[in-house]
Amino acid sequence: MRWVLAIAWLIFLFSIPLWLDNLYFLHILIITGIFIIAAMSLNLLLGYTGQLSLGQVAFFGIGAYASSLTSLGFSFHILPNTVVSLEPKPVWFAMLMGVLFASLCGWLIGKISFKVRGAYFVIVTVSFAEVVRLVALNWLELTQGPMALNNIPYLRLGFPGLGEIAFIGKVPNYYLVLVVAILTYVIIQRLVYSRVGRAMIALRENEPLATSVGVDVTRVLVFATMLSAGLAGLAGAIYAQYVRIVDPDIFLFIYTVTMVIMVVTGGKGTLAGPVVGGLIFGILPEVLRGFEVMPEVQWIVYGVLMILIVYFLPAGIVPAMRAWLPGQAGHRKERDDESRAAAEMRS
Amino acid sequence: MSGEAVVLAIEDLSIRFGGLIAVEQLTFDVREGEVLSLIGPNGAGKTSAFNAITGYIPASGGSIVYRGTRLNGMKPNEIAARGVVRTFQKTSVFGGLSVFDNVLTGLHLRGRQHPFAIMLGLPRVWRDEKRLRRETEEILHLIGLERLAFETAASLPYGKLRLLEVAVALAAKPTLLLLDEPVSGMNPAETAEFMKLVARIRELGVTILLVEHDMKMVMGVSDRVVCLNQGRAIAVGPPAAIQRDPEVIRAYLGERYLRAQG
């Protein structure tokens, strides 16, 4: 039953560009998809290890900047007469660099998070994102600051039998985002139902008990943060080669907030939560725009809906839907995760 | 059991919190396969000693040696990896997870899964998961929780919750199990059940260090008893001798206990 549903969903998602001829709406779906990947990466930290990273956008932006700079090439002075420079590299390699560099930053933040938890972790991540934004804004020689990085090359990939595909325009990018989102989902799913995922959940549930059965807190948190940062960086790298312009506004706090809203309303600590929350809050603004009301009204509706969801479904939409739908006994494990989330929200 | 080898040697252990001395120059040892109980009035330093042995608080002085390895300064998870696993005085489980998942999580040290193998979905990860699930079932069977396997831990009655704690600790495959007041709050029937469980755990070859106030339990399961008072060991010996030790009676058991025992 579950399989049939999943396949039906996949067919639907893959068929969208075939019947949707509104390119603007396809653009919205691409951007929503990129945000969903970022939201899934945030969910890994917030939902499974229980650490709220309010600097997720930093990893997203670092991925975007690092991949753009690698594909454009750069040169800057570290000393008055010492220049570091890089020739332009292929985009796939640049994107890989974006992921690796974001992971490296995640590793750093993870190392710090060994010392600080909870509110302090939030502060560290927020500050990190702000520092990175200021660097991007002021390091003119490298990032061109507010003038932005322009003309970022798009991705070209050679496929056996298909020749080279250039990811320019909406349709190829839609498929790129879709495939990466599915892979991200599968990777997180595999992790959650493994020894590593259980260790993350154990830390969220009861850290002293987790360590008493041998869970290495530092290792698990560093790994989770690295992976989360890498996935956010991947989303950023895709974003950069799609919109082909990156400026320091990519680090704005509002984007982190958007990711948090997607995760929390959808259901943190559930696999489908960020996807459902992401679809709702990614597409909603466009739907509201369709009603041709004033922008203020749009934002008020957006805010009210968010408050209503959080107020009436504290664990998120996905857990609430599971509770309504009967015959899910086979998926008790997931349900348990969610009832816990609900209990946590009430207390 | 007196001929058995010493597995855990505590020597001159001191624990201070600022100016407060919780444990001072405590020396005792635990021998292979025995059940050793720590008793003493509240504040005698029993739980502090537990916390120091398992790495949750640093020892201010002295040494803790387990099977030739010095445990001082190690992290709790490193100590657990050496086979020294504890339960907590205040009931401690993974409340939001099912009973089954609690034990499965407890098997952390038994798992052999590399993160990259997990992400690639390699078959050996899947095989390892199957093995861990089988082991989980065995542990649930041993503890007698198999019928509650899919209940959420937080919904269990108190007595079962305390059993689950032991199940999670056992999942870590301890060679030395430290139980911190496991029967506190249990009714007499539950306590009697628990004593049988302790005997079953012993049969697995697990050495047990117990902190407990329930004297029936202590006298019933222990091979030896160490009585602490104000951070020092005031008496060590078999339960029968400890029960009659005048200093133990004065510091902890009280005259009334003696009269009640006849």
Give the model confidence (pLDDT) of B6-29 as tens digits.
999 999 999 998 888 899 999 999
The pLDDT value recorded for residue B262 is: 57
The pLDDT value recorded for residue A188 is: 95
Tokens matching residue A149: 């990085």
How far apart are alpha carbons B132 and B140 in whole angstroms? 12
The pLDDT value recorded for residue A185 is: 95
pLDDT in tens, B214-236: 888 999 899 999 999 888 889 99
Tell me: pLDDT of A199 over 90.
Answer: yes
Using a CB-CB distance cutoff of 8 angstroms, which residues of chain B are in contact with residue A334?
none
Considering only CB atoms, A211 lies closest to which of B76, B129, B171, namely B76
pLDDT in tens, A132-144: 999 999 888 888 8
Tell me: pLDDT of A306 over 90.
Answer: no
Mean pLDDT of chain A: 86
Domain residue ranges of chain A, discontinuous segments joined by +: 24-252
The pLDDT value recorded for residue A333 is: 47
Interface residue A213 vs chain B (CB under 8 A):
yes
Interface residue B121 vs chain A (CB under 8 A):
yes
Tokens matching residue B16: 């201070």
Q: Which residues contact B253 (CB under 8 A, 6 or more apart)?
A: B215, B243
Distance from CA of A33 to the nearest CA of B (A): 21
Q: What is the mean pLDDT of residues B176-181?
A: 94
Do B108 and A214 count as a contact with CB atoms less than 8 A apart? yes
3-class SS string, A237-264: HHHHHHHCCECHHHHCHHHHHHHHHHHH
How far apart are alpha carbons B191 and B198 in whole angstroms? 10
Distance from CA of B102 to the nearest CA of A (A): 9
pLDDT in tens, A59-99: 999 999 999 999 988 888 888 888 888 888 888 899 999 99
Using a CB-CB distance cutoff of 8 angstroms, which residues of chain A are in contact with residue B174?
none
Structural contact between residues A190 and B128, judged by C-beta atoms closer than 8 angstroms = no
Do A333 and B98 count as a contact with CB atoms less than 8 A apart? yes
The pLDDT value recorded for residue A265 is: 92
Between chain A and chain B, how many beta carbons pairs sit less than 8 Å apart?
116
Percentage of residues in chain B having pLDDT higher than 90: 63
CB atoms within 10 A of CB B260: 10
pLDDT in tens, B78-120: 999 999 999 998 889 999 999 999 999 999 988 888 888 898 8
Do A212 and B88 count as a contact with CB atoms less than 8 A apart? yes
Considering only CB atoms, B94 lies closest to which of A209, A217, A333, namely A209
Greater model confidence, A343 or B126: B126
Tell me: pLDDT of B198 over 50.
Answer: yes
Q: For B84-112, give one letter per residue: b (16+ CB within 10 A) or e.
A: bbbbbbebbbbbbbbbbbbbbbbbbbbbe
Using a CB-CB distance cutoff of 8 angstroms, which residues of chain B are in contact with residue A196?
113, 115, 118
Coil, helix or strand for B113? Answer: coil
Interface residue A332 vs chain B (CB under 8 A):
yes
Tell me: pLDDT of A266 over 50.
Answer: yes
Tell me: pLDDT of B156 over 50.
Answer: yes
Interface residue A231 vs chain B (CB under 8 A):
no
Q: What is the mean pLDDT of residues A145-167?
A: 81
How far apart are alpha carbons B167 and B145 in whole angstroms? 9
Using a CB-CB distance cutoff of 8 angstroms, which residues of chain B are in contact with residue A209?
88, 92-94, 168
Strand B176-180 to strand B207-211: parallel, antiparallel, or no bridges (unpaired)?
parallel
Do A205 and B95 count as a contact with CB atoms less than 8 A apart? yes
**Degrees, nearest 5: CA angle B117-B120-B126:** 65
The pLDDT value recorded for residue A329 is: 44
The pLDDT value recorded for residue B3 is: 60
Q: Which residues contact B199 (CB under 8 A, 6 or more apart)?
A: B221
Q: Which of A281-285, A324-328, B174-178 is the least confident region?
A: A324-328
Q: A347 falls in which pLDDT band (50, 70, 90)?
A: very low
* Predicted TM-score (pTM) of this structure: 0.87
Interface residue B172 vs chain A (CB under 8 A):
yes
Percentage of residues in chain A having pLDDT higher than 90: 47
How far apart are alpha carbons A181 and A37 in whole angstroms? 6
Phi, psi of B260 (to 5 degrees): -65, -30
Tell me: pLDDT of A244 over 70.
Answer: yes
3-class SS string, chain A: CHHHHHHHHHHHHHHHHHHCCCHHHHHHHHHHHHHHHHHHHHHHHHHHHCCCCCCHHHHHHHHHHHHHHHHHCEEEEEECCEEEEECCCCHHHHHHHHHHHHHHHHHHHHHHHCCCCCHHHHHHHHHHHHHHHHHHHHCHHHHCHHHCECCCCCCEEEECCCEEEECCCHHHHHHHHHHHHHHHHHHHHHHHCCHHHHHHHHHHHCHHHHHHCCCCHHHHHHHHHHHHHHHHHHHHHHHHHHHCCECHHHHCHHHHHHHHHHHHHHCCCCCCHHHHHHHHHHHHHHHHHHCCCCHHHHHHHHHHHHHHHHHHCCCCHHHHHHHHCCCCHHHHHHHHHHHHHHHHHHC
Structural contact between residues B225 and B237, judged by C-beta atoms closer than 8 angstroms = yes
Do B108 and A198 count as a contact with CB atoms less than 8 A apart? yes
Q: What is the mean pLDDT of residues A240-253?
A: 91
Interface residue A199 vs chain B (CB under 8 A):
yes
Distance from CA of A170 to the nearest CA of B (A): 29
Q: Which residues contact A170 (CB under 8 A, 6 or more apart)?
A: A17, A23, A26, A27, A30
The pLDDT value recorded for residue A326 is: 61
Phi-psi region of A321 (alpha: psi -120 to 50; beta: other; left: phi over 0): alpha
Do A212 and B132 count as a contact with CB atoms less than 8 A apart? no
The pLDDT value recorded for residue A8 is: 92
Q: What is the mean pLDDT of residues B40-44?
A: 86
Considering only CB atoms, B111 lies closest to which of A195, A223, A336, namely A195
Alpha helices in B9-157 (DSSP H): 46-53, 76-81, 99-106, 115-120, 123-143
Mean pLDDT of chain B: 90
Tell me: pLDDT of A44 over 90.
Answer: yes
Query: Which of the 8 DSSP states describes residue B156?
Result: S
Considering only CB atoms, A187 lies closest to which of B80, B97, B119, namely B119
Interface residue A195 vs chain B (CB under 8 A):
yes
How far apart are alpha carbons A297 and A303 in whole angstroms? 10
